[in-house]
Amino acid sequence: MSRFRGFECYRVDEDLELASGLAAGFIGVVAVHYSDAYRRLDSTGLTAESLGPGNHAVGVQDLRIQRGELQYDSFNSHGRSYGQDGCNWISWRRHLAESVRYHAFYLIRSASADPQADNPPVPKR
């Protein structure tokens, strides 16, 4: 049996596909190229440009339009001390345009709990 199961998942290859899925309530999983630049955020929380083949998976949970471009609210495995309460904003052009050529990006609406993790208890009825 697999450890994780996604019940409604779609692969995305383009900026507007990712934006549409997030607007419809999905969570995204994408690859970014984590570098020294990726750790720098501007005053709006946008991460400095960091294009590359991708070396780190992150989740995306929301979107906004700022500076004339779609930007995605990203969360990662670096904890809440990273960025702004554990999150940062990324864009397709500045962060994802290169890594999408090497990795599959997904939208996931629902998934199973990790059977090996410390999941919250299931309420008794």
Cα–Cα distance, 70 to 86 (Å, whole number): 20
Q: Residue 18: exposed, middle, or buried by beta-carbon count in 10 A (0-12, 13-18, 19+)?
A: buried
Please compute the mean of the pLDDT values over residues 94-117 and round it to a whole number.
87
- pLDDT of 9 higher than 80: yes
Provide the pLDDT for residue 81.
Answer: 72
pLDDT range class, residue 80, cuts 50, 70, 90 = confident
Cα–Cα distance, 124 to 16 (Å, whole number): 42
Q: How many residues does the chain have?
A: 125
Provide the pLDDT for residue 22.
Answer: 96
> Regarding predicted confidence, which is higher, 124 or 73?
73
Please compute the mean of the pLDDT values over residues 71-82 and round it to a whole number.
84
Nearest Cα to Cα of residue 98 among 69, 55, 37: 55
Mean pLDDT, the chain, whole residue set: 88
Cα–Cα distance, 112 to 41 (Å, whole number): 33
